[in-house]
């Protein structure tokens, strides 16, 4: 969860939520976490077209958003609150990398695969 300042997670349903268009996998992950924590739907202030637009709105204090950590930079200067389900399990988003063996013989692809593997959970 990103916001301009710290927000008590229990107060999220009463704070303005800034949503943005994203893939169905992330949307379902966010909905699953929300439904695990709250009975009421989020108070959606705006539905934006892109994550970058959403981050700018958050920077200006117009609400909070739920975004993948990989999309947030220290230069964004945002408050970041990791999310967990009620059972304490962290909210994570699985990512897959598909490549054929021939591609992995290219040096740049091989380095990219090594880089990705350093981040796998």
- Per DSSP (E only), the strands in 13-95 are 16-20, 43-48, 79-80
121 versus 86: which is more confidently predicted?
86
What CATH number corresponds to the domain at position 71?
3.40.190.290
Same domain, 12 and 69: yes
Same domain, 120 and 73: no
Residue corresponding to tokens 């739920």: 66
Interior/surface letters 75-94, b for 16+ CB within 10 angstroms, e for the rest: eeebeebebeeeeeeebeee
Per residue in 59-87, pLDDT tens?
999 999 999 988 899 999 999 999 999 99
CB neighbourhood size of 54 (10 A): 26
Higher pLDDT, 30 or 70: 30
Q: Over range 33-61, report the average pLDDT.
A: 96
Q: Is residue 86 part of a domain?
A: no
Which of 16, 6, 12, 93 shows the shortest CA–CA distance to 57?
Answer: 16
Contact 102, 94 (CB under 8 A): no
């Amino acid at each position: 969860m990103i916001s301009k300042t710290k927000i008590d997670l229990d107060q999220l349903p009463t704070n303005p939520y800034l949503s943005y268009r994203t893939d169905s996998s992330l949307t379902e992950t966010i909905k699953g976490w929300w439904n695990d924590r709250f009975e009421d739907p989020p108070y959606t202030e705006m539905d934006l077209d892109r994550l970058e637009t959403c981050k700018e709105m958050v920077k200006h204090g117009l609400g909070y958003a739920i975004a993948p950590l990989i999309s947030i930079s220290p230069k964004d200067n945002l408050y970041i609150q990791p999310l967990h389900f009620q059972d304490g399990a962290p909210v994570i988003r699985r990512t897959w990398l598909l490549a054929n063996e021939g591609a992995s013989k290219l040096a740049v692809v091989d380095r990219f695969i090594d880089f990705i593997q350093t981040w796998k959970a």
